[in-house]
Structure 1
């Protein structure tokens, strides 16, 4: 994959932003639409079945569309709420693209001005109506008008994103969400998120190609005291009551035919709680995680999702009946969390009168090895050019939100400081050491990593991920290649209140 000519081409978006400054020169013209749009609909054509979110598809190698973020009123189980969301939807529209495509997104921040206009400390939640868009898991440039999380797009401003995917970009499930430090958790906890699907690997498997596909975005929108979040107080307690939704619906019905296998693409887009999934009475097979195929279809009892993770599941309907899709009760570090019923799965006869016509019907689970994303090759010992240790910590600091400061290597986030400096082409092994009583899902931008071990136990699959849960008091070892792109980006905890209060570092990759 190391090809200097390709890397030179991929640098397309120049470094036009320094620090958190906004670029008026890029904010004025917008793009004409060039995409195929599909409305939200049930994949089985049934009125009371869970609908897939609306979709925007690339056409002839381009996805050109508008995307707006605004405060929108929605009715949640807890009552009416004013939510900061994309295109008025829970979730936002699914972006469906292919390796080599270019996304041109004319983004508009249509939220009202901030009431707090003075930034006292970047690690105290602030300015909830200032935003940007992060393309989570994408291997693209972090500079200019690409996946640049240092942008501050202020209320009333517009910005044109141009995101160029490499020709060999890994295919799989990704997502987009706001990533302006200080307002990330408030905006994602409002429901600002959407799936992004890069096609090209699992879809080539004949058994999966025959399956009905479900896109399922798990969220837990939280309303403020007066309907809109003006403080992170309602988000802060890990055990704060949350009503989990799938595709904006509370405890929806999901239909599957007797003997049918469906392909579920599941995104955990909530802000803080982990989400193990169980579906007793049906067969579950995990075929992909964080955008990358598993070595083979793995039959499982539970799928374990931390905030930010995605999973590809094959689900087989067995006997007709109603089966709850559950998050069982568990302990997240020292915090016990109750069970949650997420949905009712109804197994119905394959000649049910309400079914749509000409439907796919998956019948078989793939046997043997699943195809790999070509760019993700095992990192060998002799490739390693450096080692680093990252210590995850927490301390009490007066004046911070809840007097709490989260740190990496003893320091809270500072947007001016480069915590890691490396070169394009370097290959490193990092050890993450968690000294806190909470697990931390650590996400790194731009370059995925290969998980080698958790708590000293090697993972024989050596899975490629972009978000990994570091156990409370535990360790994770991963390896990563700094390929194709120079520039600054971040690594952080995806329990988003932890990120907003300091658990994030800057990574600077030099050409």
Structure 2
């Protein structure tokens, strides 16, 4: 294959807004993770949080602005403090950039994708991270249903220096990779969306994914999924959006809205400004700050009365985020790429469930929302404190600046017809129950990550064992039980599912591919196992947990 990509480009870093707003420094990790959440902590988590936050406060306080209010100055020079991340000038409020866009030509998106280390300037730090195309996030792929994605993926990460371990359910061989099209209903076999492939450093591989003509149109994404390395690579920022574009059935109010891609990131790194071991990601208080399209505290601009469509993708590696905008509302129109029947439906919260001014998004989920700008002013787009069994990260994500001439636009009164038909009782051919659980040390704060195990049906992941066999064409109802005192995030490849119960209680049905599994609770869903035989996986999309064993192999077989 020719190494030259055949696609139309939108320049990387194309801004959504003009001008730079300089303001106070972004909150330090202490204020970000610790402020206002003491009452939410169990003793073990509290001890872990205090130790992590104190260390971060001593070594990683946010850059202080200059006396003139201009760009922040480095806290120290690398040469005078070897072994600590390099601090660099950081100015809050730069315009939100859009990722580079690659589009199909004549029904085919043919491109290259390079995985390699690159230096990244992120929120006042110069980091050395694994990335796609030297950017965080990677390029956005825009396609239509019925088209084909052809990628020549080059793994330019360095060779792995260790041998394959006997214990596979721990981080290992961190520079092996592969490619997962998250949420796609496509083949899991061969060179398609096959997460059981191995892509070695120094080699190039073909990926070919055909999108069915009747595929739901919406927001999806891609990321690495090689067991042992996926968590480290995703936490570094190896992710990008895939948009299957709307058809003529979309309602005019949505079509008229400005289309904005928003990739949420959780930033974690070690004392060298890298992600080179699990100690940088485990425990649950390792996130230093949040980013949007790889930027810390950027500015989004809108005109009064304007409606924008925000395609929000949670590409973070571990934690739920409870999103809100001051004096504004999110109007959800799609979840996990699948259009909703009713605006705003489908939220599963285990904390503050009655709040109407905030929206929960879990790792791996996508939520398309409409936002209608209010009066002129500047408003915080932020993550609020939230309890998922431990405190989720919270703090500023971006600022929304409403200014300029009024642009009166309407929100839709109805949505496009749903792309997937609800599953009726009489369609069900089988029912099964799975259990998520964990083995945790007596004192979590004093423990090493190797002491934790995360299990499905009481067993750790084994890629050579098939845990669930489903006949092609089956329509099944699954109940997933969580015996752990933390929420988990259930995700299954290839086939979306229709959520029908939470904690045994019926909920308005909603189609998803990733969902919060409540602590000490359950979810029940129905799914059609159509079109594609082969092996794929289900797992917790809190990637720390997946890496430590919370995953199973599913095989769909032809009868």
Specify if TM > 0.5: yes
CA distance in structure 2 between the partners assigned to 1:244 and 1:416 by the alignment: 37
Pick the aligned partner of 2:18 from 41, 46, 51: 46
Partner of 1:212: 258
C-alpha separation between the residues in 2 aligned to 1:338 and 1:183?
23
1:121 alignment counterpart: 167
1:172 and 2:218 matched: yes
Matches within 5 A, 1:283-362: 283-298=329-344, 300-333=356-389, 335-337=390-392, 339-350=394-405
Taking the aligned partners of 2:328 and 2:248, their CA distance within structure 1 comes to 22
Output one character per residue of 1:112-149: Cα deviation in whole Å (capped at 9) or x when no partner. Answer: 01122232211011011110010000000000000000
Paired residues for 1:473-492 under 5 Å: 473-492=520-539
- 2:154 is aligned, of 82, 86, 108, to 108
TM-score (norm 2): 0.81
Corresponding position of 1:248: 294
Q: Distance in 1 between matches of 2:159 and 2:239?
A: 21
Q: CA deviation at 1:458?
A: 1.4
CA RMSD of aligned residues (A): 1.9
Q: Distance in 1 between matches of 2:440 and 2:359?
A: 34
Q: 1:402 to 1:43 in 2, by over 3 A?
A: same
SS of the residue corresponding to residue 298 of structure 1 reads: coil
Query: Counterpart in 2 of 1:149?
Result: 195
With 193-202 and 496-505 compared, the bigger mean Cα shift is at 193-202
What SS does the aligned partner of 1:350 have? coil
Alignment equivalent of 1:385, drawn from 414, 429, 435:
429
1:36 and 2:8 aligned? yes
Q: Is the 8 Å Cα contact of residues 201 and 371 (structure 1) preserved in structure 2?
A: no
C-alpha separation between the residues in 1 aligned to 2:303 and 2:124? 33
1:202–1:293 CA contact under 8 A, matched in 2: no
Aligned twin of 2:234: 188
Structure 1 residue 239 corresponds to structure 2 residue 295? no
Aligned ranges 1:18-33 → 2 under 5 Å: 29=1, 33=5
The residue that corresponds to 2:273 in the other structure is 227
Residue deviations 1:129-186 (CA, integer Å, cap 9, x gap) = 1100100000000000000001110110110001011110111100000000011110
Per-residue CA deviations over 1:452-496 (Å, capped at 9, x if unaligned) read: 011122112x11100011011110000011100000000000000
| 1:394 has 2:438 as partner | yes
CA pair 362-208 structure 1, distance change in 2 beyond 3 A: farther
Please list the CA deviations of residues 372-413 of structure 1 after superposition, one character each: whole Å capped at 9, or x if unmatched: 22xx11111111111110100111599994211111000000
Residue of structure 2 equivalent to 1:5? none
Measure, in 1, the Cα distance between the counterparts of 2:458 and 2:177: 27
8 Å Cα contact 2:235/2:275 also seen in 1: no
Deviates more, 1:194-203 or 1:421-430: 194-203
Task: In structure 2, list runs of 5 or more residues that go unmatched.
Answer: 21-94, 346-355
DSSP 3-state at the match of 2:233: helix
Q: 1:427 to 1:130 in 2, by over 3 A?
A: same
Confirm or deny: 8 A CA contact 1:435 1:474 kept in the other structure: yes
- Residue aligning to 1:499: 546
Contact 1:102 1:163 in 2 (8 A): yes
What is residue 16 of structure 1 aligned with on the other side? none
Instruction: Assess, with a 3 A threshold, how the Cα gap between structure 1 residues 108 and 304 changes in structure 2: closer, same or farther.
Output: same
Query: Is 1:423 aligned with 2:478?
Result: no
| TM-superposed deviation, 1:330 | 1.5
> Does the residue aligned with 2:519 lie in a helix, a strand or coil?
coil
